[in-house]
Amino acid sequence: MIASVRGTVLRVGISDVVIEVGGVGLIVVCPPQTALALRQGQDATLQTSLVVREESLSLYGFEDDEQRGIFEAVQTVSGIGPRIALAMLATLTPDQIRRAIAQEDIGALTKVSGIGRKGAERLTLELRDRLAPPSPASPGSTTGGWESMVRDGLESLGWSRREAEAAVLAVAPEAGDEPDVAGLLRAALRSLDRR
């Protein structure tokens, strides 16, 4: 198990980064908000989870142990793999996930791409007693700051501030009530490519 990586950020993508550790560039798949917070050339430390499959080894990175713990816990549920676990963290904070599971809030869980009603019910049934309780404070949705995450992501990929602002404005109508940061970033990149 690789518990964490620390090194220089060589490349930042929409949902992954390359971090140089001891002369080796490691691709680390991250929630979009984690990847977009990093800058090329800076030193970074990520908590990691290594997922071993027959055909691949994939390293997933997180800001803290709490995110990593949720990522690993939700994968113990039948039908939930790393892709959906990552989508959960891209859509909801760890505390919002714990709250949705504790309160059996199927609606909140089905907002995650790839989770239907049955999957949400399975999550609440299997994890209700295994996750730490949510904090008493009820934080608002983290999706409200999608504009800055998309703008920062575009700038980290080499676009100017002006170009990034224009792309954010171009995709704003697609955001809706529950913005998908990774999807909006892809749409913004497509809008920039058309220019």
pLDDT at position 136: 67
Q: Identity (one letter) of the amino acid at 193?
A: D
Q: What percent of the chain has pLDDT over 90?
A: 54
| Poorest-pLDDT segment among 39-43, 90-94, 103-107, 165-169 | 165-169
Please determine, for residue 131, whether its predicted confidence score (pLDDT) is greater than 50.
yes
- Within the chain, strands assigned E span 4-12, 16-21, 24-29, 43-52, 57-62
Do both 55 and 73 map to the same domain? no
CA 44/CA 101 separation, integer angstroms: 31
Closest CA relative to residue 146, chosen from 185, 103, 95:
185
pLDDT at position 147: 83
Closest CA relative to residue 92, chosen from 183, 187, 188, 179:
179
pLDDT at position 5: 96
Do both 57 and 70 map to the same domain? no
CATH number of the domain enclosing 113: 1.10.150.20
**Token pair for 184:** 């909006």
Count of CB atoms within 10 A of residue 14's CB? Answer: 20
Do both 95 and 58 map to the same domain? no
Q: 69: domain range? A: 65-127
CA distances from 149 to 22, 154, 182, 183 (A): 29, 9, 9, 12
Please determine, for residue 21, whether its predicted confidence score (pLDDT) is greater than 60.
yes
138 belongs to a structural domain: no
Please determine, for residue 25, whether its predicted confidence score (pLDDT) is greater than 90.
yes
pLDDT at position 1: 79
Please determine, for residue 189, whether its predicted confidence score (pLDDT) is greater than 90.
no
Closest CA relative to residue 67, chosen from 79, 44, 43, 49:
49
Please determine, for residue 115, whether its predicted confidence score (pLDDT) is greater than 90.
yes
Question: Where residue 194 falls among pLDDT bands split at 50, 70, 90?
Answer: low
DSSP secondary structure string, 59-100?
EEEESSHHHHHHHHHHTTSTT--HHHHHHHHHHS-HHHHHHH
What is the number of structural domains in the chain? Answer: 3
Helix (H, G, I), strand (E, B) or coil at 137: coil
pLDDT at position 142: 40
Residue 160 φ/ψ, nearest 5 degrees: -75, 165
Do both 160 and 186 map to the same domain? yes
Please determine, for residue 10, whether its predicted confidence score (pLDDT) is greater than 80.
yes
pLDDT at position 127: 94
104 belongs to a structural domain: yes
134 belongs to a structural domain: no
pLDDT mean over 164-171: 85
Instruction: Write the burial class of residue 102 (CB in 10 Å: 0-12 exposed, 13-18 middle, 19+ buried).
Output: middle
Do both 48 and 75 map to the same domain? no
CATH number of the domain enclosing 16: 2.40.50.140
Express each pLDDT in 64-113 by its tens digit.
999 999 999 999 999 999 999 999 998 888 988 999 999 999 999 998 98
Question: Where residue 195 falls among pLDDT bands split at 50, 70, 90?
Answer: low
158 belongs to a structural domain: yes
